Amino acid sequence: MKVLMFTWEFPPLISGGLGTACYGIVKGLLKQGVEVDLVLPTREEVYFPMRKETDVDDLPIKFISPQKEIEFTNTVFMNSMEKFEFIGVSSIPESYISLSEVRTFHTYFKNFMKKFENKTRVPFQEILNNIMGCENIFEKVKEFTLRAQRYAQILEYDIIHAHDWLTYPAGVIAKTVSGKKLVCHIHATEFDRAGGAGDVRIHNLEYSGMTEADSVIAVSRYTAEMVISRYLIDTGKVNVVHNAHNIDIKEFENEKRMFKDPVILFLGRITLQKGPDYFLEAAKIILKKYPKVRFVMAGAGDMEKKIIHKSAKYRLKNRFLFTGFLNAAHVAKMFSNSDIYVLSSVSEPFGIAPLEAMSYGIATIISKQSGVAEVIKNAIKIDFWDVNLLSEKIIELIENPDYRKKLGEEGRSEVELIKWEKACSEIIKVYEKTMGRINK
Amino acid sequence: MINLVFYFQVHQPYRIRNFSVLDIGKGKDYFDDELNGEIMRKVAKKCYLPTNKLLLDLIDKYEGKFRIAYSITGTAIEQFKKYAPEVLYSFRDLAKTNCVEFLGETYYHSLAFLYDKNEFLEQTRMHKETIQKEFGFSPITFRNTELIYQDSLSDYIWEEEGYKVILTEGVDRILQWRSPLYAYKNWNKNLYMLLKFYSLSDDIAFRFSNKGWVEYPLTVDKFVKWILDLNLIEKGNKNLFLNLFMDYETFGEHQWEDTGIFEFMKHLPAKAFKSKQIEFSWPSDVLEKTNYQPESISFPEPVSWADMERDLSAWRENDMQHNALETFYDILQKVKATGNPELLEMARKLSTSDHFYYMSTKYFQDGDVHKYFSPYGSPETGYNNFMNAVTDLEERI
Instruction: Give B197-238 pLDDT, tens digit per residue.
Output: 999 999 999 999 999 999 999 999 999 999 999 988 888 899
Q: What is the CA radius of gyration of chain B?
A: 21
Q: Residue A370: which domain range?
A: 263-416
Q: Is B28 on the interface with A (CB under 8 A)?
A: no
Q: Is residue B336 part of a domain?
A: yes
Number of domains in chain B: 2
Contact B22 A313 (CB under 8 A): no
Q: Nearest chain B residue to A330 by CA: give it.
A: B22
pLDDT given at position A98:
42
Interface size, chain A vs chain B, as Cβ–Cβ contacts under 8 Å: 69
Q: Nearest chain A Cα to B379, which residue? A: A305
Quick check: B350 contacting A, CB < 8 Å?
no
Q: Which residues of A touch B384 (CB under 8 A)?
A: 308, 321-322, 324
Last residue of a domain, one of B262, B296, B330: B296
Determine, yes or no, domain membership for A406. yes
Answer yes or no: is A351 within a domain. Answer: yes
Is the confidence at residue A104, as pLDDT, over 90? no
Residues of chain A positioned with their CB less than 8 A from the CB of B395: 258-260
- Same domain flag for A199 and A71: yes
Sorting pLDDT into bands at 50, 70 and 90, what band is B375? Answer: confident
A7 plus A133 within the same structural domain: yes
A312:B331 CB<8 A = no
**Per the omega criterion (within 30 degrees of 0), is the bond before B50 cis?**
no
Same domain, A401 and A426: no
Q: Which residues of B touch A323 (CB under 8 A)?
A: 20-22
Q: Is B318 near chain A, with CB under 8 Å?
A: yes
Same domain? A429 vs A352:
no
Chain A hits for B334, Cβ within 8 Å:
none
Residue A363 near residue A407, CB atoms below 8 Å: yes
What's the gap in Å between the CA of B361 and the closest CA on chain A? 11
- Of the candidate ranges A224-233, B71-80, B368-377, the one whose mean pLDDT is the lowest: B368-377
Of all residues in chain A, what percent carry a pLDDT higher than 90?
A: 63
Looking at the structure, tell me whether residues B100 and B208 fall in a common domain.
Answer: yes
Domain assignment present for residue B94? The answer is yes
Among B327, B331, B384, beta carbon nearest to A322: B384
Residue A256 lies in a domain: no
How would you classify the pairing of strands B165-169 and B2-10? unpaired
Out of B24, B323, B394, closest to residue A312 by CB: B323
Whether B305 is covered by a domain: the verdict is: no
A426 with A325, same domain?
no
Q: Is B24 on the interface with A (CB under 8 A)?
A: yes
Q: Is A386 exposed, middle or buried (0-12, 13-18, 19+ CB in 10 A)?
A: middle
* Domain identity same for B155 and B113: yes
* Span A189-217, pLDDT tens digits: 999 888 788 888 889 999 999 999 999 99
Lowest mean pLDDT among A272-286, A326-340, A393-407, B377-391: A326-340
Domain count, chain A: 2
Task: Clarify whether B146 is annotated catalytic.
Answer: yes
Q: Say whether both B116 and B28 belong to one domain.
A: yes
Sequence-ordered list of residues with C-beta below 8 angstroms from that of B296, at least 6 positions apart, any chain: B184, B185, B186, B187, B188, B189
Say which residues have a Cβ less than 8 Å from residue B38's Cβ, sequence separation at least 6.
Answer: none
Nearest CA in chain B to A305: B380
Minimal-distance CA residue of chain A relative to B324: A317
- Residue A105 — pLDDT band, cuts 50, 70, 90? low
What's the Cα-to-Cα distance from B211 to each of B207, B214, B248, B254, B380, rounded to whole Å? 8, 8, 22, 15, 33
Q: Which pairs with CB-CB distance under 8 Å and at least 24 residues apart come from A328-335?
A: A330/B20, A330/B22, A331/A267, A331/A298, A331/A356, A332/A250, A333/B22, A334/A265, A334/A267, A334/A296, A334/A298, A334/B21, A334/B22, A335/A265, A335/A267, A335/A360, A335/A362
Which A-chain residues 233-292 have CB contacts (< 8 A) with chain B?
Answer: 256-260
Examine the domain organization and report whether B283 and B324 are in the same domain: no
Is A39 among the domain residues?
yes
Out of B25, B319, B390, whose CB is closest to A318?
B390
Kindly calculate the radius of gyration of chain A based on its CA atoms and give it in whole angstroms: 23
Minimal Cα distance from A333: which residue of B?
A: B22
Q: Are residues A139 and A160 in the same domain?
A: yes
Dihedral pair phi/psi, residue A294, rounded to 5°: -115, 135
Same domain flag for A136 and A49: yes
Do the domain assignments include residue B139? yes
Do B243 and B367 belong together in one domain? no
The per-residue pLDDT for A438 is 59
Whether B293 shows a pLDDT value over 60: the answer reads yes
Residue A58 has a pLDDT of 86
pLDDT of A121 over the 60 cut: no
User: Nearest chain B Cα to A324, which residue?
Assistant: B20
Interval A35-93: pLDDT, tens: 999 999 888 889 999 999 999 988 899 998 888 888 888 888 877 778 777 877 654 44
- Domain limits at B212? 2-296
Instruction: Sort out which chain A residues have CB atoms less than 8 A from B385's CB and list them.
Output: none
Residue B314 inside a domain? The answer is: no
- Examine the domain organization and report whether B330 and B291 are in the same domain: no
Mean pLDDT of A341-352: 94
The crossing angle, in degrees rounded to 10, of helices B117-135 and B74-83 is 50
Does any CB of chain B come closer than 8 Å to the CB of residue A335? no
Domain CATH for A337: 3.40.50.2000
Domain at B121, CATH number: 3.20.110.20
What average pLDDT does chain B have? Answer: 95
pLDDT of residue A328: 77
Q: How far apart are the first and last CA of chain B?
A: 57
Collect all residues of chain A within an 8 Å Cβ-Cβ radius of residue B318: 309, 312
Check whether residue B270 and residue B132 sit in a common domain.
Answer: yes
**Is A317 in Cβ contact with B20 (below 8 Å)?**
no
Residue A437 pLDDT > 80, yes or no?
Answer: no
| The one catalytic residue among B134, B146, B253, B317 | B146
- Range name among A6-20, A227-241, A387-401, B176-190 with the lowest pLDDT average: A6-20
Look at residue A321 and tell me whether its pLDDT is greater than 90: yes
Does one domain contain both B146 and B185?
Answer: yes
Strands A62-63 and A46-50: antiparallel
Closest residue, chain A, to B378 (C-alpha)? A305
Do residue A312 and residue B330 have CB atoms under 8 angstroms apart? no
DSSP A239-292: EE------PPPPPPP-SPPS-SS-EEEEES--SGGG-HHHHHHHHHHHHHH-TT
With CB atoms and an 8 Å threshold, state whether A316 touches B323.
Answer: yes
- A297 and A277 belong to one structural domain: yes
Within this chain, do residues A150 and A290 fall inside the same structural domain, yes or no?
no
Do B140 and B99 belong together in one domain? yes
Are residues A192 and A105 located together in one domain of the fold? yes
Domain membership of residue A252 (yes or no) is: no
What is the C-alpha to C-alpha distance for residues B35 and B15, in angstroms, rounded to an integer? 8
Residues of A in contact with B391 (CB under 8 A): 294, 318, 321
Which has the higher per-residue pLDDT, B130 or A125? B130
A333:B22 CB<8 A: yes
Answer yes or no: are the C-beta atoms of B196 and B245 closer than 8 Å: yes
What secondary structure letter does DSSP report for B238? P
With an 8 Å Cβ cutoff, is B333 touching chain A? Answer: no
Q: Are A360 and A335 in contact (CB under 8 A)?
A: yes
Whether residue B326 is contained in a domain is answered as yes
Q: Is A258 inside a domain boundary?
A: no
Q: Is residue A234 domain-resident?
A: yes
B294: DSSP letter: P
Cβ <8 Å between B25 and A258: yes
Chain A residues within an 8 Å CB radius of B21: 258, 296, 298, 321-323, 334
Residue B310 counted as domain residue: no
With bands split at pLDDT 50, 70 and 90, how would you rate the model's confidence at B15?
very high
Is B30 a domain residue? yes
Phi (first) and psi of residue B316, to 5 degrees: -145, 70
**What is the phi/psi pair of residue A75, to 5°?**
-85, 140
**Helix ranges, B298-340 (H):** 319-338
Task: State the best of B18, B20, B22, B350 to mutate against chain A, taking most chain A CBs within 10 Å.
Answer: B22
Q: What is the DSSP letter of A370?
A: B
In a domain, A253, yes or no: no
User: What is residue B239's DSSP assignment?
Assistant: P
Same-domain status, B56 and B199: yes
How far is residue A345 from each of residues A196, A219, A433, B161, B211, measured CA to CA in Å? 13, 16, 34, 61, 54
Let me know whether A285 and A238 are in one domain. no
Question: Same structural domain for residues A109 and A169?
Answer: yes
A293 to chain B: which residues are within 8 Å by CB?
A: none
Q: Are residues B87 and B223 in the same domain?
A: yes
* Interface membership of A298 toward B (CB under 8 Å): yes
